[in-house]
Structure 1
């Protein structure tokens, strides 16, 4: 009977071990607080923060200083956007998806953080009704300690 149980459970075991490391992402209660620095008048920043809160993130908001914080944390200007965040020792710049923040916290790569440079339409916070459902392709980049970057995840590309 034990052999039959093992044979029947083998496909499930194989499927579980084939999952990428980031598939077991932290639950909301395990997430550190996300600190965000933004312009007090920026609507898309508020929308991004609301999106993350709906996904279970606890967010602490500072209404000024994102450019100064970005510099202090060592993120090169070319990766800049309208808000800068810090979570678990990583910079999160711009309209990054919750999934990639969780993945970053799970994988713990040697990096400054992740960024969505600029403000691509269709990214979280830039996806309101005023954009008419438009979704521009964009990349979430992993910013490495030497200031270079590589694509961490692409969105809306075929």
Structure 2
């Protein structure tokens, strides 16, 4: 006498079939770049608010922390005064100093170079948050901050 063939429970079958998809989704989530960025700024800086607006439009989720003086923040993250600007961001273990275009942050997080972070020193006219009503722009570079000694290399050029 042969025993009738039994089929696996449909719920169990769905669960077993779904495991490979779940593994793929988990690996994608692990590879996804962070979107939460902490932005250290002074309470009275308007261009910093403009930069935060650019971050939001690019899909980042900024958390703004206000300080009377950013010197201690910059020292903590290794940004020398000569490479500083008016705000300091921190994301994915990197420092982001100044009016860095969001696309450069995305690239930094994707490429994961061995560095402290990136910086746009000063406040270049036309950089994110530094737009003028007339649309004036000056060329600027985003620099890769290699170490606490202030060594840099060009990360991106913006005409």
TM-score normalised by length of structure 1? 0.76
Count of residue correspondences: 127
Q: Please state whether the residue corresponding to 2:127 is helix, strand or coil.
A: coil
In the TM superposition, residue 32 of structure 1 has moved relative to its aligned partner by 3.5
Report the Cα distance in structure 1 between the residues aligned to 2:96 and 2:39, rounded to whole angstroms.
9
TM-score normalised by length of structure 2? 0.76
In the TM superposition, residue 30 of structure 1 has moved relative to its aligned partner by 4.4
In the TM superposition, residue 78 of structure 1 has moved relative to its aligned partner by 1.1
In the TM superposition, residue 59 of structure 1 has moved relative to its aligned partner by 0.3
* 1:77-92 alignment runs, 5 A limit: 77-92=81-96
Deviations 1:61-99 (A, max 9, x none): 011143211111111211100000100000000000010
2:63 is the alignment partner of 1:60:
yes
Report the Cα distance in structure 2 between the residues aligned to 1:147 and 1:42, rounded to whole angstroms.
25
CA RMSD of aligned residues (A): 1.5
Deviations 1:22-57 (A, max 9, x none): xxxx9xx74241001101110000000011101100
- For structure 1, list consecutive stretches of 5 or more residues without a partner in the other structure: 1-25
Report the Cα distance in structure 2 between the residues aligned to 1:138 and 1:61, rounded to whole angstroms.
25
Report the Cα distance in structure 1 between the residues aligned to 2:71 and 2:126, rounded to whole angstroms.
23
